[in-house]
Chains A and B, each alone.
Chain A
Amino acid sequence: MATSTATTVIKPTVEYTSTTRRFVMGGIFLALAAVIWLFFVRTTDPGAITTFGLNPGGSTQFEYPDWVFNSVNMLNILAGLAALAGGYQVARGFGKRTNLVLSLVAGAFIFGFLTWAAADQSLNLAGLLRSTLQRAVPITLGALSGILCERAGVVNIAIEGMMLTAAMVSALVGSLTNLWGGLIAGILAGGLLALIHAILSIKYKTDQIVSGTVINIFSIGITSFISAKFLQKYEELNSSGTFPQFEIPLLSKIPFIGPIAFDHNIFMYGMFLFLIVLHFGLFFTRWGLRLRSVGEHPKAADTLGINVFRTRYMAVILGGMMAGFGGAYFTLGSVGRFDEVMTAGRGFIGLAAMIFGNWRPFGAFGAGLLFGFADMLASKLAILGVQIPSEFLLMAPYIATMIVLAGVVGRSQAPAADGKPYEKE
């Protein structure tokens, strides 16, 4: 081990230039192009017109005119672009920009899908994006919680439980005091559960997945218990209300994007803030370097004088507080009351988003947007009259995560010491 200290810090880089990967990727681009042609173009009337609304509703400072265009022409353009990208990928390869091109092609495909679904109809595109962003909030916060823990080498599958408990606590305390009191209590509840996770997995060296399971079972039990015993009986204990929306002064004036992204409550802005702070903190500060070194090679970090245990405790507790903030979103940021198991697996989707985003904050945010989009679209399919069962769309994030994890499309790389208890010698 001693001799490998210097080399193991360098991660095995993803083989962007591998021929197999180049062909698989190119095949995927071409397949998406083919789907647009075969399923979308052929089932659309050539004269069909797609109308996209560009005002998300709510704020009425600007009124953008609707975006109206011919559906088939747009679909042909999108398919052509995807096919071009696929052809280039097979022939030459995009090299390091493959992932960027993949996300662009995927975006074109989604846009094509919407164009097709809205053929001869009107669809509020800005409203869709706004609601996608809202649904991405808890998923992204959950993912950020996971990133904090796992970058320091502690697996956290208890994000769901932490969120659920925080949602309950913030509704309860929020009803007793005020919204801010509820928020702080929720964050503390997440931190407290994380402390238990940390003690079990760092001090007692329990298997971290078992310890996460303990917290998940405990959270489901205690929240349902208190909900059934008190919250349902005394309505006044379960009416916290929600944080009001407010516009960010300058940013909300940005055309199109402003009303979509900068007219929300504090949870949205909190997410943006934590996203930037965590990205900067992890990759550009000494704190982040230390945290990551503890997750990659704790022995080397210890040798250099970093306190592995303290760093891990700190990371896990901060991660729990992040999950607590995300959990408070469900009650204080969304519906204003607690219902049993109301997180409904969002914590696990957050875990998936973390992996999908390759343990990076902005990657996780991208995944959160994608999963939030699938979530949002599933509820809109019936309105659009699309004959795809919404359940299949809701499965998509999970299937996508499994594909990513399997390394077919891209390899996700967990921190090297993730899940391994550290034993000081």
Chain B
Amino acid sequence: MAERPKPKASKETQPDRSAVKIFLDEVAKAPLIVPVLAILSGLILGGLIVALTTEEVYAVWRTSPLDAIRVGWDAAMSAYSALFNGAIGNPARIAEAFRGGDALEIRRAINPFFESLNKSVPYIFAGLAVALGFRAGLFNIGAEGQLFMGAVGAVWVGFALTGVPAIIHIPLALLAGALGGALWGFVPGLLKAKTGGHEVINTIMMNYIAFRLTEYLLRGPLQRPDSFNPVSPFIQDSAKLPRFFEDPIRFHLGFFIALAVAYGVYWLLFKTRWGFDLRTVGANPNAARYAGMNIVVVTIAAMSLSGALAGLAGANEVLGLNHNLAVAFSSGFGFDSIALALIGRSHPLGVVLAALLFGTLRNGAIQMQVSAGIPIDIISVMQAMILAFIAAPAIIRTIYRLRVPTGVADEIRVRGWGG
């Protein structure tokens, strides 16, 4: 490979290497360096796009290019500061609120931070879903559809079941969500294991079936009786995930459930025999078959479990935040979750961190849209670029002149259509 620079000299022959160089070499070997640099590059390119799409830049450009660069820089900076204020909270306002001591004002000032945590919840679940699939060598591109079915299951149990205490109602609703998602993962898993039909195609198809089915349900059986719009009834109070603060902070139990589930997935993947089987099937199906592992069962179970995780994402949105279901309640969690799983290197901890990052960015972008006039979609553009850098680490290595580490598996390979 052309981008693999040969080490000029080994450690022994070059005793006078500076501490900085040793440090840089060590950093280049760390598994986190590529994701971190990819995210950084994505943020830089995002700022560049913001600057390039600011009209004032072009107005100033005719008179003074230097001023234009400054205007562009200002535009990008004001966008990112709005993003920060929207994502974490305005530091000045928080300080002011605490000095003032008004409880409502404090809650309002720190609300952005908790709202970011809320935004991360579906990303954690959906990212875990895709990551689990990757570990089993399966590309679950259908998290979006599984998420819809999970939301349908959760909202149905949430409003139809009455007169049960929250301690029973909430787990049941979550379970229904997981089952809805699991069903949507089970079908492609079964088809993959039994007929070899590629799960990428089948999960894409299942996505659209889920959208249509949800539309049908919301215009028919699940429609709110007094409404002409395709929305479900509100869920019972007993099914709502408890919130920890008063309004306007909507921070709810779902965040901690997500963290617990992430730990559960970690434990399952790396501490149990079944997880070992799953990873073996993903890494080398032939070896797994030779070792007597049941590939059919592992494939079906992994897809179902992956679907269940994505279903929990939908269930948490419904039970924790929206309390009802509308047609367009999710916008692209499915595709985003692929990015998260890859950025997090399909490790539950990495996924949680990546989900926190993107939940925070997405939440901050709302404020950025309002106050800096930058459409929220810039986050998707940045996400795509970060994903490209993660998926092709050679690009990042070339830009930042990093050495290729030895013995670190870079990318996740998925088998082609043929099987």
Residues on A facing B (Cβ under 8 Å): 150, 155, 157, 196, 200, 204-207, 209-211, 213-218, 220-222, 224-226, 228-230, 345, 348-349, 351-352, 355, 389, 391-392, 394-395, 398-399, 401-402, 405-408, 414-420
Contact = CB atoms under 8 A, between A and B. Distances in A.
A221 B379 contact: yes
Contacts of B338: 210, 213
A218 B195 contact: no
Contact of A221 (B139, B208, B381): B381
B377 A225 contact: yes
A226 B55 CA distance: 12
Nearest to A216: B335
Contacts of B212: 391-392, 394-395
B413 A207 contact: yes
Given A218-B385, A391-B212, A407-B195, A155 B377 contact: no
A320 B392 CA distance: 21
Question: Which of B198, B212, B338, B342 has its CB near the most chain A CB atoms (within 10 A)?
Answer: B212
Contacts of A408: 195
Contacts of A352: 201, 204-205
A220 B197 contact: no
Interface string B9-25: 00000000000000000
Nearest to A392: B216
A401 B416 contact: no
B405 interface: no
Contacts, number: 164
Question: Which of B141, B202, B381 has its CB near the most chain A CB atoms (within 10 A)?
Answer: B381
14 contacts: A207-B413, A211-B391, A213-B338, A214-B384, A220-B332, A221-B379, A221-B383, A225-B380, A229-B374, A351-B201, A395-B212, A405-B195, A405-B198, A419-B417
B317 interface: no
B416 A405 contact: no
A407 B192 CA distance: 11
B191 A221 contact: no
Question: Which of B201, B374, B379 has its CB near the most chain A CB atoms (within 10 A)?
Answer: B201
Give 9 closest A-B pairs by Cβ, nearest first. A221-B380, A419-B416, A218-B384, A228-B375, A204-B392, A391-B216, A221-B381, A224-B377, A414-B417
Q: Is the interface of B mostly helix, strand, loop or mixed?
A: helix
A224 B205 contact: no
A157 B200 contact: yes
B391 A206 contact: yes
B262 interface: no
Contacts of B339: 213, 217
A154 to B, nearest CB: 10
A129 B89 CA distance: 57
B412 interface: yes
A414 B417 CA distance: 7
A213 B336 CA distance: 9
Contact of B342 (A196, A210, A405): A210
Given A218-B384, A417-B416, A418-B416, A395 B197 contact: no
A416 B418 CA distance: 6
B109 interface: no
A398 B209 contact: yes
B380 A226 contact: no
Interface string B47-78: 00100010000000000000000000000000
A228 B394 contact: no
Contacts of A210: 338, 342, 387, 391, 411-412
Contact of B209 (A200, A355, A395, A414): A395
B414 interface: yes
